[in-house]
């Protein structure tokens, strides 16, 4: 019965997101006719990859009651590091990418240790990390983007299936990750632990779930995905830029939140997050194509974040009222 209700709730969220995407497409297409074109659709999908990968990890993290504000800085640091390493060494880009991902994973481990061992509030712990890794990225490149000339990394980030007009393979890769982690969340013991910890941490502990281990995995996973996003962006932009990915964590949080992932934990769905990511990137792309001032774009994105948090607030209140009503009926 609970699974049926959860599926209905997810279907409702998905329907709302689809309607919102259609409205965004209609509005921005009326402003710029090129918005609704195959070329722009591909651009939106490619731009969605970084947000989408980060949103996968962020979904798991938010569902256990955590958050990571350092994801954008970790992505920037990863992009700058691999660009620097490609210039400074003759090591193959795939090896450097693995080293970069390992380094990103370590940043997630450090975030987890601050939250679990030092008992620092996740918001503050990851905000501190954001400053550290953003500063480190600027120190490595001395404030100047580092060119990426490696053909292998560029092919990885820009390659397409079925020729120049085909689908970028990083989009396929992102969809595969979404499928894998959707299965992990819904069909595995780890996924059930995520739901349990987010729903009631104390009850999960009493049930024998190692909450700290799950939290560590979620923090590490979020940073690793952010690192991968940074590597991809450096290949796409042909440079490791410390100023890139500044709002990545917020876009990922908005996408997850709009998809029904509760900021209070215990509620979420990976497939719905795909729609949330598409909505956020379509919104961002539409603002650019409508030639909205960058300053007003900051305002618009802030309003979108506020709207997503407000929606989450009312969803949570509705869930609490329903739980209260159900408990009263069982008396």
Does residue 317 belong to any structural domain of this protein?
Answer: yes
309 and 198 in a common domain: no
C-alpha span between 273 and 279 (Å, rounded): 10
Into how many domains does the chain fold? 2
Does residue 19 belong to any structural domain of this protein?
Answer: no
Task: Provide the 10 A C-beta neighbour count for residue 322.
Answer: 11
Does residue 175 belong to any structural domain of this protein?
Answer: yes
Flag whether the pTM goes above 0.85.
yes
**85 touches 99 (CB < 8 A):** yes
**151 touches 86 (CB < 8 A):** no
128 and 230 in a common domain: yes
Does residue 263 belong to any structural domain of this protein?
Answer: yes
C-alpha span between 218 and 111 (Å, rounded): 10
98 and 235 in a common domain: yes
Residue 2: the pLDDT is 47
Does residue 153 belong to any structural domain of this protein?
Answer: yes
Residue 328: the pLDDT is 66
Domain span at 85: 48-267
Phi and psi angles of residue 146, each rounded to the nearest 5 degrees, phi first: -100, 120
Among residues 267, 283, 310, which one ends one of the domains? 267
Exposed / middle / buried, residue 60 (Cβ in 10 Å: 0-12, 13-18, 19+):
buried
C-alpha span between 111 and 106 (Å, rounded): 9
113 and 160 in a common domain: yes
Among residues 267, 285, 307, which one ends one of the domains? 267
Does residue 95 belong to any structural domain of this protein?
Answer: yes
Residue 171: the pLDDT is 95
326 and 183 in a common domain: no
207 and 66 in a common domain: yes
Name the residue with tokens 């709730």.
9
Residue 308: the pLDDT is 82
Q: What tens-digit pLDDT sequence spans the chain (331 residues)?
A: 445 545 545 556 778 888 889 999 999 999 998 998 988 999 999 999 999 999 999 999 999 999 999 999 999 999 999 999 999 999 999 999 999 999 999 999 999 999 999 999 999 999 999 999 999 999 999 989 999 999 999 999 999 988 778 889 999 999 999 999 999 999 999 999 999 999 888 889 888 999 999 999 999 999 999 999 999 999 999 999 999 888 899 999 999 988 888 888 888 889 899 999 999 999 999 999 998 898 898 898 888 888 888 887 887 777 677 766 766 676 6
Does residue 198 belong to any structural domain of this protein?
Answer: yes
């Amino acid at each position: 019965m609970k699974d049926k209700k959860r599926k209905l709730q997810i279907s409702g969220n998905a329907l709302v997101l689809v309607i919102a995407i259609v409205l965004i497409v209609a509005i921005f297409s009326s402003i710029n006719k090129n918005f609704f074109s195959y070329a722009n659709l591909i651009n939106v999908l490619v731009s969605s990859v970084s947000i989408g990968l980060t949103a996968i990890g962020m979904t798991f993290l938010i569902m256990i009651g955590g958050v990571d504000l350092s994801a954008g800085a970790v992505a920037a640091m990863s992009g700058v590091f691999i660009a620097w390493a490609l210039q400074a060494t003759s090591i193959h880009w795939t090896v450097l990418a693995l080293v970069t991902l390992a380094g990103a994973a370590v940043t997630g481990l450090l975030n987890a240790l601050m939250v679990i061992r030092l008992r620092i509030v996740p918001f503050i712990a990851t905000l501190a990390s954001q400053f550290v890794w953003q500063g480190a990225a600027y120190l490595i490149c001395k404030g100047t983007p580092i060119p990426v000339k490696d053909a292998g990394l560029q092919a990885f980030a820009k390659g397409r299936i079925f020729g120049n007009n085909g689908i970028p393979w990083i989009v396929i890769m992102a969809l595969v990750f979404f499928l894998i982690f959707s299965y992990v969340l819904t069909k595995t013991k780890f996924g059930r632990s995520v739901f349990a910890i987010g729903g009631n941490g104390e009850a999960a502990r009493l049930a024998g779930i190692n909450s700290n281990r799950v939290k560590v995995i979620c923090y590490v996973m979020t940073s690793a995905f952010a690192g991968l996003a940074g590597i991809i962006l450096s290949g796409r932009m042909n440079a490791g830029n410390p100023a890139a990915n500044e709002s990545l964590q917020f876009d990922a949080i908005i996408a997850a939140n709009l998809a029904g992932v509760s900021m209070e934990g215990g509620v979420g769905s990976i497939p719905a997050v795909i729609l949330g990511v598409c909505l956020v990137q379509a919104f961002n792309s539409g603002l650019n194509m409508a030639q909205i001032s960058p300053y007003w774009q900051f305002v618009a994105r802030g309003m979108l974040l506020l709207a997503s948090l407000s929606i989450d607030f009312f969803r949570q209140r509705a869930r609490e009222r329903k739980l209260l009503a159900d408990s009263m009926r069982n008396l």
